[in-house]
Amino acid sequence: MDTLISTLLSGVVLGALYALMASGLSLVWTTLGVFNFAHGALMTIGAFVAWTVSEAVGLGLPAGVVAGVASAALLGVVVEYLLIRPFYGRPNMLLITVMTTLAGMIILEKGAQMIWGARLKQLPRLIDGEVSIFGAVISAHEALIIVVAPLILLALWQFTTRTYLGRSLRAVGQNQDAAALLGINVSFTFALAFGLGAALAGLTGVLLGGIRFITPSLGAEPLVKAMIVVIFGGLGSLGATVGAAFVIGLAEAFLVLTLGLYWTPFALFLGLIAVLIFRPNGLFGRV
């Protein structure tokens, strides 16, 4: 019973992290129609900057968290400006930006290696201690992730549905020409979407940095998982992305328990392909 609850909690923690990471990726896709392959590297930079500010400089973890999220957001805006914006309106923009964001990922990862080196680093946990839930014990840091991630995503949902700035993101994502007609600055909206998406990646990096070692390739695996989540959920909806993140997180936790770590990625991809055969628009996508 304890194993089942532990696995369930592990799945929820994974789901919460995937939801944060994938929501940023989904936000960029729905607004710009671009798949940002540098998203994982932005997460890595967020974690490294948080470590530098809190540990190397010694300003403490709260300052590190703020710096990590802010630096990822800022770098996201720079990535949009340098690697995406020059190609807006090109007929083959999607293909070009696959290449430019892949290049961005490599540049950021190699840059991180040059600046921070290959030695493993780890952030302190946001909260020390452990929490017991129905007899299963998880760290207080992981419990915080379970609580914080849904709150952040709820705030993001409120932002996109209740505020005019958020609605402008949705409007641009649905019809750029019509949005410009209403006086919406489409270029600014693109930068905003990229900045917000990158901030979510940075936050994921900060939270993950308290569980895993921070390396230049920290973001590579979460990027792949986030892509599975976004496609699995059905491109274009925040709710679908979050739902899919928890399905994938729980599936991964139970697959690790039953099949082991080695076969889990294979089983996940197999599941993704099976879902896409029967539901081409994703698990929660509109048919």
Report, in Å, the least distance between residue 86 CB and another protein: 16
Residue 246 CA to residue 19 CA, distance in Å, equals: 7
Residue 137 CA to residue 258 CA, distance in Å, equals: 20
Reference 75, options 114, 43, 116; nearest CA is 43
125 binds another protein (CB under 8 A): no
Per-residue binding string, another protein, 197-236, x by CB under 8 A, is ----------------------------------------
Reference 84, options 102, 97, 98; nearest CA is 97
Contact 251, 7 (CB under 8 A): no
Report, in Å, the least distance between residue 26 CB and another protein: 14
Instruction: State which H helix or E strand residue 154 sits in.
Output: helix 140-162
Per-residue binding string, another protein, 72-111, x by CB under 8 A, is -----------------x----------------------
Nearer to another protein, 133 or 186 (CB): 186
Residue 77 CA to residue 199 CA, distance in Å, equals: 10
Tokens 């990862």 — which residue? 109
Tell me how crowded residue 107 is: count the other CB atoms within 10 A of its CB. Answer: 15
Contact 250, 6 (CB under 8 A): no
What are the backbone angles phi and psi of residue 130, rounded to the nearest 5°? -130, 160
26 binds another protein (CB under 8 A): no
Report, in Å, the least distance between residue 214 CB and another protein: 38
Report, in Å, the least distance between residue 170 CB and another protein: 6
In sequence order, the 6+-apart residues with CB closer than 8 A to the CB of 4 are none
Reference 241, options 13, 5, 75, 20; nearest CA is 20
Nearer to another protein, 112 or 191 (CB): 191
Report, in Å, the least distance between residue 112 CB and another protein: 35
Q: Which of residues 137-196 bind another protein (CB under 8 A)?
A: 164, 167-168, 170-171, 174-187
Nearer to another protein, 158 or 185 (CB): 185
Nearer to another protein, 146 or 180 (CB): 180
Report, in Å, the least distance between residue 77 CB and another protein: 18
Find the angle CA(30)-CA(87)-CA(40) to the nearest 5 degrees.
Answer: 55
258 binds another protein (CB under 8 A): no
Nearer to another protein, 187 or 258 (CB): 187
Interface positions with another protein (CB under 8 A): 89, 164, 167-168, 170-171, 174-187
